[in-house]
Structure 1
């Protein structure tokens, strides 16, 4: 090992090994990031959105069923159609979610199974309540109460838990890839420094200042490093932007829509049971307070898309609160029919304010989701071709090392 040929051979082997390792690590990290981000874009995020749709569809169906019951007798066709469409949407989303959940996710599979069993039971209770209500039988109210209790205490919590699990997975996956691939970048930097040191040693041993092969290898490694740094930083920036301006506000907006639907359920159930003296009114007031705080927090945060819709939803929430106060005043006077008119009537009552808040929150969710998906898509596009290019440049570096050192070794034969 004290001879120059042995030292040149050792340097060559070391350079080839580190070039191969750095190229392989870079390609592996890029491929893993690209595959995971693509999975996030095409599978995980759509599954989280389907879980949110399951909750919304079930909640809308329950609100429609309760509203139809308040109408008495034959319910309005529009309300009945809204109930039927919501149940159909929830069933379709259950099928989509079941097809997209990973086999290892036993928690989500269990939640979906319990939802799939519970929805038909709920619809059966609603149909029984509907038949009795149309025929004027008081027992219809008991069936509706049982169905709504099942929805509020069992089905909706299951759907909310399913959405929480999937939304947390979206945030977790994005957070893991919001930083550049530092290990690959560090190894390529070490490789480049090793090539520079090798050229200085070779110049000392062979009395030649430049080695074309090692220069080619250095250029290849430098190009790979620059490509990886630029693409990695851009990809990480896109992922971080999608996380801050997409995933996090999206989760908050979805929670806001869930609170909105829960408040509407409290309001209509209180009327059906003619009981606003206790928990229904307290729950309604608390939910609107929570919604107001949440919307203010979202507006102050990193929300980019959907900001105008959030402002309109916030104003609708305030008008809804005022309409509910009118409703409670009428109930205190004993005017139940007037209170029902405020709750389900078309002229500025609770129904129109709830519908406005829900619609604009839905628009904000759609726009924020688009921001999330476009950010992830940009992160994936930035990495396109990088893994293959890194391997090709590593192979070029290995070829340059061999081509640069072999002639020097032959001089000692």
Structure 2
């Protein structure tokens, strides 16, 4: 489908016509759509939990069969021998985040991986110890940074610099981020931000932030929980030091699914870098010799601690197959137009900014598929009306509804129907 110079129209026929032209439309059939009131819901909550691929159960069942029939021999003689499982995911995971295969590893979960990365990349000295992050980062990131700073015996108020939007605004300006990096350059040890802010949906300029951070002599890492599988990433080319992400949001790999980690090749092949070691990150050629002396595997795999969690990884493997078939560039192209159509429809509801305000950037380059709606009047009641009407969304205190039309399984008709229900819920007259 050619989305260039698309002129949107506020009609159901137009939305259905877009769906008929959509080359990715058939991927919706590869997912289970939750039912509400005995019909398919309008599921716009992939930024919180992605839907279940129909192949996920089959993938996990294969590992159940191998466990049942082979027992421990499944490690070496299963359909997908478990001892190599993380290797099956590397190439496809790397394509999702713009990395070399040996720069990524699927393991643990997001916050565990973040702590492991901070052990390696937050190495404060008496003169260089400060961390820059965005104000209002997801709580897990805040808590990880707080506790790492305290672990090093430092004062969090002194060490952590939180960048807030300008007064009266909701999102950060890139020039303000870069100015803060320059201001604190002599004391800066680390920049650790979300690739996308979970609350506003703002995409940060990771390439520019990384360049500025390195010029200041700091390490730079990102939490990509809301970016992986959502926007185009080029972690290797951007020269990012490390990144972590979950797989249960846009990557559709199940509640509490396994996490992903990126370590740039500059570090991933530097055996002397400080880290917490584990058996599964040890040189695999010597792993079963059970000897002292940790020798990390080359690449990000050297940060592994324990053997793979096979069942979550099997589900993730099934999801990655879908992403590889769809391709991130095609998904991103559809996402920009799907979210653009949502924005167009909301802007044509007739609601003033005193009633409803989109706080996500209007420029498609600086947002993913999420629009955050600031509801100034009776926000919770509006959210409950939407829920009762069969729309599954995400509410964030004090008054934000996050709406995320994901290109793998959401349609233009979904977006049109949501806007009509939102109009009714706001009690806005035509």
Q: Which has the higher helix share?
A: 1
Query: RCO (CA 8 Å, sep 6+): is it higher in 1 or 2?
Result: 1
**Structure 2 length normalisation: TM-score?**
0.21
| Structure with the higher fraction of residues in strand conformation | 2
TM normalised by structure 1 equals 0.22
